[in-house]
Amino acid sequence: MTNQEIQSIKQRFGIIGNAPALNYAIQVATQVAPTDMTVLITGESGSGKESFSKIIHALSPRKHGQFIAINCGAIPEGTIDSELFGHEKGAFTGANEARKGYFEVTDGGTIFLDEIAEMPLGTQARLLRVLENGEFIRVGSSKVQKTDVRVVAATNVNLLDRVQAGKFREDLYYRLNTVPITVPPLRERGDDIYLLFRKFTADFSEKHRVKPISLTPDAVRLLTRFRFPGNIRQLKNLAEQISVLEMEREVDATRLATYLPAAQTSQLPALLPGHGASGGDFGSYSERDILYRLLFDMRRDMTDLKKVVLELATGNRPAAADTQELLRQNSHLFNNLNEASPYPGPENPAEAGAGYYLPASPAAPLRVDVSAASPYADEDDIDQTEDISHETEEETLSLDAIEKEMILKALKKHHNKRKYAAQDLGISERTLYRKLKQYDLESA
């Protein structure tokens, strides 16, 4: 598909921007439009998913049929079956007459099911039958009816996470996801942010007959760096708000910053409740469990490093390349020992492993200057040699107990389903089976 054809589609459907991810999504929508394949559009709320459903319908052989957009999250669970598939008279209280559902009304057309993840499980089973056989039954009826409808679905959540949580049918997911289209969030579209801002301010000025807002170069940089969690919808609201309230029609970065929510300018990661239900994420663990797991990992690393350093100090292990690399990767754990080390370091610290110094003699004992670690150290303590060999067995037993507890907790959480427990623990199923055998938990 040529760039000229993509630009033509953008002009036809009012799509602004030139981001590569956006162009690719348009290309996929254009290629799948002439077919009857089911399409699943994924993207954050406000990123413009409905525009792609309209592209698919308008470029398909069904373009003369009806197009209906339905927000599954806006229809109450008790009435969604009736809305989609219709009902017979007397099927439930208030059903005073028979009514056709959307799948019957749009026969020969296209239905866009937005927020498909919010659809109840019972309705999902009905939808699966429509997708596979083109058949449905009205609520309160036993008569099977046929329909020829193309389904385009959209969601702003990870459906696979919903599948693993038991809130979305796995067979329906694979039936919907025949052709996936991913709409990029606004923060990943670079210069498109400023293009859309200019479009919204120009539309506002034309509608209300005022001079359009312009931004200084520093304001443009601030605007394009903002994350816009509300995507295009939030950007449009911002453009209209500035157009109404600003008396000066040129806005600098200082003035623009007053319109940007301070809580959304930070790009630091945050743990949101209920997020990360699969893979190596923490799932629904509490903050205490998460901290417990992190400390477990850190302590295990420290135990391994102590073993390596002890062997190097006593001359029982050569300073091989893999050992040097292990120490280099964990050099941040030894940063505080550099100043206190009684051994002179080389002129080039890189020669000693990036941030720490090994003893000059392999037979020399490992000594740590505790005066750098504690202001209350006695003079007699400063020259004491720290023997860490006795810690290995004790810490290993402690780590085994923690690991065993985490495995039992994950199994309990997922009702002994080992596949999901392994995903929550961030390990493979094969590793989990080995751990179960190691700790005699196979009956768990």
Instruction: Kindly tell me if the per-residue pLDDT of 375 is higher than 70.
Output: no
Cα 160 from Cα 157, distance rounded (Å): 9
Q: Which positions ≥6 away from 145 have C-beta within 8 Å? A: 104, 135, 136, 137, 138
The bridge status of strand 144-146 relative to strand 135-137 is antiparallel
Q: Mean pLDDT check: name the lowest of 107-111, 267-271, 427-431.
A: 267-271
Q: State the CATH class of domain 187-264.
A: mainly alpha
Q: State the CATH class of domain 392-438.
A: mainly alpha
Structure tokens given for 432: 């989990």
- For every residue of 230-283, DSSP letters joined together read THHHHHHHHHHHHHHH-SSSEE-HHHHHTTS-GGGS-----PPTT---STTS-T
Q: What is the pLDDT of residue 269?
A: 46
Q: Which homologous superfamily is 3-184 in?
A: P-loop containing nucleotide triphosphate hydrolases (3.40.50.300)
Average pLDDT, the chain: 79
Most confident listed range (231-240, 298-307, 356-365): 231-240
Instruction: Kindly tell me if the per-residue pLDDT of 266 is higher than 50.
Output: no
Q: Phi first, then psi: give them for residue 186, nearest 5 degrees.
A: -60, -35
Domain boundaries, the chain: 3-184, 187-264, 287-389, 392-438
Q: Quick one: what percent of the chain has pLDDT higher than 70?
A: 73
Q: What is the pLDDT of residue 394?
A: 52
C-alpha torsion angle, residues 152, 157, 162, 164 (rounded to 10): 110
User: 282 or 191, which is more confident?
Assistant: 191
* pTM of the complete model: 0.59
Q: Mean pLDDT check: name the lowest of 31-45, 104-118, 250-264, 265-279.
A: 265-279
Cα 271 from Cα 300, distance rounded (Å): 24
Q: pLDDT category, 195, cuts 50, 70, 90?
A: very high
Q: Where are the alpha helices (DSSP H) in 316-417?
A: 321-329, 379-382, 391-413
Q: pLDDT category, 179, cuts 50, 70, 90?
A: very high
